[in-house]
Structure formats: structure tokens, C-alpha cells
Amino acid sequence: MRDIVIIGGGMVGVSCALNLQERGYAPTIIEQNRIGGETSYGNAGVITRSSIIPLNNPALIKKLYRYVGNQNVAIRYNLSYAVKNSLSITRFLLNSLDKKAVANMHALDQLISHSLGEHEKWMALAGASQHLRKTGFLKLFRSQASFEASAFERRLLTQFGVKYRVVDDAEIKRLEPHLKDIFYNGVLIEDAASVDNPGQVVERYGTLFEERGGEVLNASVREVKNVEGGFLISTSHGSIEAERVVVSAGPWSQEILKSVGFKLPMFLERGYHYHFERNDHNGISRPILDAEGGYVMTPTSMGIRVSSGSELNDRDQPSNESQIDRAIKSAMMALDIDKKIDKVAWRGSRPTLPDSLPAIGPVPGKENLWVACGHQHIGFSTGPATGRLIADMVSGGESFVPAAPYLASRFQ
């Protein structure tokens, strides 16, 4: 029987494994793809405290009318999927009310404020520090009206002590000389860093885990059952027994948790990206969010990555590239990108819970079973701190941040 099994080898799962290994446990990771090859691969690689402002922030209710026609570039939805998950989505909207939203932001900040330090620690140990850049995160506005409409965000950033500064069009040109002159002004988040290949960084963390004696099994998990002294994990390559289990399988977590009789009110936000060739006329030095364009554009070692907004849809439904196609048209107005590297868009699913907080901690009523999932768009930022918190819980020590906001039992 194995000591402890981590189901899922993305940013969150690998962070759990490394932290548990550091405490003297002997974790095994089960991952159906390569380490860091699913959702952790496809993000923008941003590590920023401005991520404390979730999608369901106090301004969301006022903007709902924009999404009624299902043509908004930032948010799309499959109507049948939205209806099927209407209770969770309604709870998500209710969490955008002021008092709830601010409390959720404080809880997010507990995790995110530790993210850069945790990443720097593991990058140094994994030989991955060359991937990190501290050039900030730039949010741009095409009009004065758009900038003024986002004033509440800047008030929140100020309230939480996030370092930023407003930049005019001349400063934008100095920061990113290859951008076209279509932006009125922007906000440079200075409390931000990024990496040039998030999937490779997670993969290096996985290699570090293996170099320290950890084992990675390539298989998909079908179900988990209680057995005497622990759990029986049924996989595509046979069964495994473990004394303890951590479920950190991202958008697959819900199915695994259902097999042990526990359900989270989780829904999925799918996202897409394409890479474009870099040349002497389109280099950028930091991730850029175009507020009106509905995309994030980031320089990576694979090319310039253009990422879409959110699509509410089932994980396994066929891709619908209309959203990313529209985002690319907007990105082409801002930068000379015309040569796609990818033949088809990458697609991933981001698991979201109603309060935009992850579920971290023991599964109610199941001794020695923990969950670490629901990190929505920001698992790359919150994953390292999640791993540290899980290790605190499993070892029975005092948690380095208050754990109550993240406990899965909050949904019972």
C-alpha cells in the first residue's frame, strides 16, 4: 500500500507532492497526460496579486446585460450547459455582492501573496529560474470610457495594497514600442511576474519531484473506493492501494469525488489559445490584457500566445473557435501577428466554484482523503500556496494561512 497518492499532475498536484515530500512523506502522482500537460500548460503564465479580483466581482451584476446575446468576446456560454449548472452559476453571481466579494478577495490574497515567493523557491531548486521575468502585467484600455468604467478595480487594488500605476499612451509606447497606437491608456501592475513557458515550469517541478525519489504513474483514474486501511484507486492501468489520497485533478476532480459520494458545486470555464511567430516587429516584454479586446497576449518560448476569455461549456464538448477567432482579430489590431504556429487552437477547462475560491482540505466524512481543486483561472498563482497548505493539513501542523475559507465543507 502506498503512503499517499496525488491524483493530478498539474500545478496544484505537483505543488502538493513537492510540499508533502519535503515533510517526509512518499507521495505518488497519478497523471493521465504528461506533468503540466493539461490546464497548467495553457495559461498566460502570470503571477500577480491583481488576480484577487475574480470574475464575480462587485461590477459583474451591472455588466450582465452584455452577455445576454452570447456574443461577448470575454464570456461565451453553451445554453444547455448553463441551464444544467444554473444553481452553481446563480450562487456564483450572488458572490459578486459587495460584502461576499470582498471577503473572497481577502481569502484569495492569502494564497496569491505567497505565490511568487513559493515559485521562486521551487524554480531555484528545479533549475527553472530562467523562465521567470519580473516585468509586470499590463492592462490596456482603448477608450477613456473603458478606463473610467474600471475605476472600481483600481480602488480595490489600492485597498489591498497592490502596487500599480496608470500609464498614458506615451508610456505604453515606451514600455511596448511594437504595439499599435490604438490604446488610450493602461494600468501597469507592478506586483506581478510571469513565466515564458508555464507548462515547462510545471514539468520541471515534476522532474524535481522524481529526482527526489517521487514516482509518477501515467494513467487515468476511474474511481476511488474506501478499503480497510485506506483507499483503492481504479485506473486505466490497474488498481492501486493508498493510505491517503489528495484529489487535485482540476476539471476531472468532480467525477473522482462523486465516486466517493462527495459533490462540489463546480462548473467549468473553457479557454483557448493560439501561438504566433515572433519577429523583429512584434516583440512584447510582458503579458498584456486588452480590456475591450477580450484577450491576453503573452510572450512565450513557443511564440506569442493569444488566449481567449471564458466559455461556459462541458469539458468534452467539441471546440468552438468563434471566441478565440474574434479575440485574434482584436489582437491583430494591437500587434503585427499574422503567422499562426498551431494548426488548431489549444483548449483547456478551468474548474470554478461559486465563491471563486479553491476547495482545499479534508473531504467531509472521509478520513485521509483531501481535495485541492477549483482554482479557476489562477491555479498557476494559487497552486504553490495550495500545496503548502495541503502539506500543513496532512501533517497535522498549524497551517501557514487560515484554512477556513477554502474548506470543502463550506458547501454542505
Q: What percent of the chain has pLDDT over 90?
A: 95
C-alpha cell at 301: 518560448
Q: Are 304 and 278 in contact (CB under 8 A)?
A: yes
Q: Are 291 and 319 in contact (CB under 8 A)?
A: no
Start-end of H helices in 335-401:
379-395
Question: What is the reported pLDDT for 133?
Answer: 97
pLDDT band (50, 70, 90) for residue 76: very high
pLDDT > 90? residue 244 = yes
Question: What is the reported pLDDT for 98?
Answer: 83
Condensed to tens digits (0 to 9), the pLDDT of residues 253-274 reads 999 999 999 999 999 999 999 9
Q: Taking residues 138-154, what's their average pLDDT?
A: 96
Condensed to tens digits (0 to 9), the pLDDT of residues 278-332 reads 999 999 999 999 999 999 999 999 999 999 999 999 999 999 999 999 999 999 9
Mean pLDDT of the chain: 96
Question: What is the reported pLDDT for 295?
Answer: 97
pLDDT > 90? residue 62 = no
Q: Are 195 and 202 in contact (CB under 8 A)?
A: no
Question: What is the reported pLDDT for 65?
Answer: 85
Phi, psi at 315, each rounded to 5°: -55, -40
Whose grid coordinates read 463546480?
266
Name beta bridge partners: 288.
Answer: 138, 297
Q: Are 33 and 221 in contact (CB under 8 A)?
A: no
273: left (phi over 0), alpha (psi -120 to 50) or beta: beta
Q: How many CB atoms lie within 10 A of CB 86?
A: 11
Question: What is the reported pLDDT for 63?
Answer: 86
pLDDT > 90? residue 210 = yes
Please state, in angstroms and as integers, the Cα–Cα distance from residue 354 to each residue in 307, 309, 376, following that order.
23, 18, 10
Question: What is the reported pLDDT for 99?
Answer: 87
As a whole number of Å, the CA-based R_g of the chain is: 21
Q: Taking residues 114-129, what's their average pLDDT?
A: 97
Residue 65 one-letter amino acid: Y
pLDDT > 90? residue 124 = yes
Q: Show the beta-strand stretches assigned E in 15-173.
A: 27-31, 46-48, 75-77, 132-133, 137-141, 164-168
Fold assignment, 2-411: FAD/NAD(P)-binding domain (3.50.50)
Among 346, 401, 282, smallest CA distance to 38 is for: 346
Q: Are 181 and 169 in contact (CB under 8 A)?
A: yes
Q: Are 350 and 376 in contact (CB under 8 A)?
A: yes
